[in-house]
Structures are given as C-alpha cells and as structure tokens.
C-alpha cells in the first residue's frame, strides 16, 4: 500500500529473498519495494525505488554488504540499513564494522546463510524496519520537525503511576509491577557532586551511542555505565568500536571491574550489570538472574543499583528504545537526589523508554541526541541541570 514503509531486500539467495519478502509482506505497515541479489544491483535500484529502509545481507558476490555500505556512504545515501546476516554469528567484528559504516542495527539469521526458519526473527526484524523506516520517512520525506529546543521540562502535572518494585527485588532480578497510585517525586536529599553516569538504551542505540560518545568531554572525570540491549557475543566488539570514536576509554564490563573516573563500561549481552560497594571501591557485578522489564541486561537493574550505591551523586540517562526498561528505576535515582535526563522525541528512533520515563515524571530534562554528549559532560562537571 502507498502508506506502507517500503523495504528493499538485498540477499544473494533467491530462497532468502523470497522468505524475507513474505515475512515483510505479512507485517502490517510494511511492503517490499523490490529485491536485489547483491550490493551492486541494490545501488542501481535505490534511485528509482527510493525505499524507506533496506534489509542487507553481508555475504554476497560481486559487491558484499560491507562494500555496499562504503559506497552508500560515499554517495551520501541516508536510507537506513538493517543487517540480516549469518555472518553476525561468527564475525561480531564484521557486524560492528557494518555499524561503523552507517548500518543502523542488526539481526542474526537463525541458522546460517539459508535460514528456512527465518520467521523466528520476524518480530525483531519487523520492529526495526518499522522504527527506522518510519523515522526516515518522517524526517527525510516530509518537513522535519524543529530540533531547536535542545532542553525541555516535563509537564507541570502529577505523573502517571510509578509502581516501581522495591530496589532489593529488582537487584535480585525479579520483575516490576505497574499501576500503583500516582505520586509526585520529592527527592529525599539535595543533589550532591555527580560521581557516576548511568545510561539505559535499546533500539536505535548503536547509532546514538556513537554520536553521544564522540562528543563527550575528553576531560570528563566521572565513570559511565551503559546498558545497551544487544545479544551475547557482540558487546565486546561493540565496546571496541565505540572506543575508536570516544575520547574516553570504553570497554566491555567484566566481573569485578572497578568503576573509575574517565572509563565507560558496556554491559555484557545476556548479563545484568549492577554496581556494588567493596570497601572504598565501587565494582561491577554481573549476573544471569531472571530478566527484568523483559531484558537481560536491564537498565532498571543498573539504575536500581546506582540509586542504592551513589544515592544523590548520580546522573541517570534514558535514551531511544522500545518498551519501558529503565523508566521505573530512573525514578529512584531522582528520589535519592540524583539528576535525570531523557532523549527527546524528535531525535529518538523509538520514543518508547524515554517516553514512559517522561510520562512517569522521572525525567527532569529532555535533550536532543545531537546535544546529549555535551549535556552529559556539562551536568557531570557542574552537578546541576
């Protein structure tokens, strides 16, 4: 249909092109613009089709996915690209190279290059295509909304129900209940010197974190901990790729890592990341306790432990992502006297997590992606909004 988000499917296997196309056509709001057997043919079709989003395999003859992404970048093509490739299973570094070249996100084919069970990842693929394709259409095929307002304040109304579970139950990996009576947050103490920054982020995160990290102050003297929803096996290479664009040291978090100024720790895929006191030190604890808010790692678990350990000396940041992970426990950082900010709607690929936090009254300021790195640096330096 004319209103559907149009998808160009690029894969060297005729069977896979057919299966992926059927999967897309079975999703409300999506339609297949055309297919291509490699990057060369895809480039030839883009000018005529002007699709909203591209699904790209990495292993193809004549022009593979990496070569396509390089040429896409050279030509200034801004159409978002979702990697759907078997190589993701055996080559996390290649997948991260694809992200560094401008791919928006990735999904692993479930079982090799010819995945007859591709339907098992239908929901994830559809989610990404709708999110990135919808955003591209909104901001590149229509007059884009103004990003002039860098910082906005929450509405002056009583927030919706916070309903956060106790910190102890969250940290132990239990779920979150929602629907408790609405209560306006009143911090129990004044904000102290900011000693840590905690970031929760999901869909749209790989691109967004590259923007944020590239604009951090090289002299930033506080540690940063990040929960980015990502499969296991990829977060080490993801940290390495971010380290190349960030003036601070970025690494994948390991059990017992000390939380020290000037270092950024990325949560491992499929492991919760918490901080705990160890004498005068603060160290990382990783666990495979049950999912929280539908995720492991969970931003809610990180934020809950930050509120316990750092009380009024923390800055919590919630960014683009589907769902509500992090929205509840961001409120505990606020209650303890810490500061909280969220990504604004106009710059978020998916205004889900930050929207829920904002509507709960847990976000003190909303910030555009382009300004997020500098804003984090300023708040961490001045300890005020």
Predicted local distance difference test score (pLDDT) of residue 3: 87
CATH number (domain holding residue 264): 3.40.50.180
Q: Are residues 31 and 65 in the same domain?
A: yes
The domain in which residue 182 lies consists of 153-382
| Residue 147 domain flag | no
Contact residues for 377 (Cβ-Cβ < 8 A; gap 6+): 215, 216, 217, 220
| Residue 148 domain flag | no
Q: Are residues 131 and 162 in the same domain?
A: no
| Residue 145 domain flag | no
Predicted local distance difference test score (pLDDT) of residue 88: 56
Predicted local distance difference test score (pLDDT) of residue 90: 62
Q: Which of 140, 168, 193 is the last residue of a domain?
A: 140
Predicted local distance difference test score (pLDDT) of residue 299: 98
Predicted local distance difference test score (pLDDT) of residue 232: 86
User: Are 48 and 56 a contacting pair, CB within 8 Å?
Assistant: no
Q: Which of 105, 140, 175 is the last residue of a domain?
A: 140
In this structure, what is the dihedral angle of CA atoms 12, 18, 20, 25, given to the nearest 10 degrees?
140
Predicted local distance difference test score (pLDDT) of residue 172: 39
Q: Are residues 131 and 208 in the same domain?
A: no
Three-class SS state of 36: strand
Tokens representing 133 are: 């394709």
* pTM confidence score: 0.87
Active site (catalytic) residues: 202, 229, 325
Q: Which of 89, 105, 140 is the last residue of a domain?
A: 140
What Å distances lie between residue 150 and 153, 346, 349, 371, CA to CA?
10, 10, 17, 7
Three-class SS state of 189: coil
From 55, 59, 168, select the one nearest 107 (Cα to Cα): 55
The owner of tokens 């994830």 is: 124
From 269, 258, 119, 145, select the one nearest 206 (Cα to Cα): 269
Low-confidence stretches of the chain (pLDDT < 70) are 1-2, 87-90, 111-116, 142-183
Start-to-end CA span in the chain (Å): 46
Tell me how far apart the alpha carbons of residues 323 and 79 are, in angstroms, rounded to a whole number. Answer: 25
Q: Are residues 27 and 74 in the same domain?
A: yes
Strand-pair partners of 199: 226, 317
| Number of domains the chain is built from | 2
Contact residues for 379 (Cβ-Cβ < 8 A; gap 6+): 194, 315, 339, 341, 385
Q: Are residues 362 and 327 in the same domain?
A: yes
Digit-coded pLDDT (tens) for 298-329: 999 999 999 999 999 999 999 999 999 999 99
Q: Are residues 134 and 189 in the same domain?
A: no
């Amino acid at each position: 249909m004319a209103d559907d988000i149009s998808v160009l499917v690029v894969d060297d296997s005729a069977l896979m092109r057919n299966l992926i196309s059927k999967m897309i056509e079975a999703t409300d709001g999506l339609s297949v613009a055309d297919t291509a057997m490699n990057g060369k043919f895809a480039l030839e079709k883009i000018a005529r089709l002007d699709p909203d989003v591209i699904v790209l395999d990495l292993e193809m003859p004549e022009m593979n996915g990496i070569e396509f992404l390089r040429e896409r970048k050279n030509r200034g093509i801004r159409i978002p690209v979702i990697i759907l490739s078997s190589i993701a299973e055996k080559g996390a570094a290649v997948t991260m190279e694809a992200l560094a070249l401008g791919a928006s996100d990735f999904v692993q084919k479930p079982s090799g290059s010819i995945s007859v069970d591709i339907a098992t990842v239908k929901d994830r693929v559809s989610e990404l295509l709708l999110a990135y394709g919808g955003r591209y259409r909104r901001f590149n095929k229509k007059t884009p909304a103004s990003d002039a307002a860098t910082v906005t304040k929450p509405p002056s109304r009583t927030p919706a129900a916070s309903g956060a579970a106790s910190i102890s139950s969250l940290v132990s990996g239990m779920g979150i209940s929602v629907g408790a009576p609405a209560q306006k947050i009143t911090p129990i103490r004044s904000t102290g010197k900011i000693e840590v920054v905690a970031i929760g982020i999901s869909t749209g995160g790989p691109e967004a974190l590259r923007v944020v990290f590239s604009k951090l102050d090289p002299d930033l003297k506080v540690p940063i901990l990040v929960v980015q929803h990502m499969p296991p096996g990829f977060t080490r290479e993801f940290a390495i790729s971010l380290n190349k664009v960030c003036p601070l040291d970025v690494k994948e978090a390991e059990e017992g890592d000390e939380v020290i100024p000037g270092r950024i720790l990325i949560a491992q895929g499929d492991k919760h990341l918490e901080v705990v006191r160890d004498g005068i030190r603060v160290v990382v604890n990783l666990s495979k306790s049950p999912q929280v808010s539908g995720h492991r790692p969970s931003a809610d678990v990180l934020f809950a432990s930050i509120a316990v350990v750092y009380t009024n000396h923390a800055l919590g940041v919630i960014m683009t992502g589907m769902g509500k992970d992090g929205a509840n426990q961001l409120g505990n950082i606020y209650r303890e006297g810490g500061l909280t900010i969220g990504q604004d709607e106009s710059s978020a690929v998916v205004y889900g997590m930050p929207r829920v936090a904002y509507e709960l009254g847990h976000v003190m300021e909303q910030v555009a992606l382009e300004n997020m790195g500098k804003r984090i640096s300023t708040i961490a330096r001045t300890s005020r909004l």
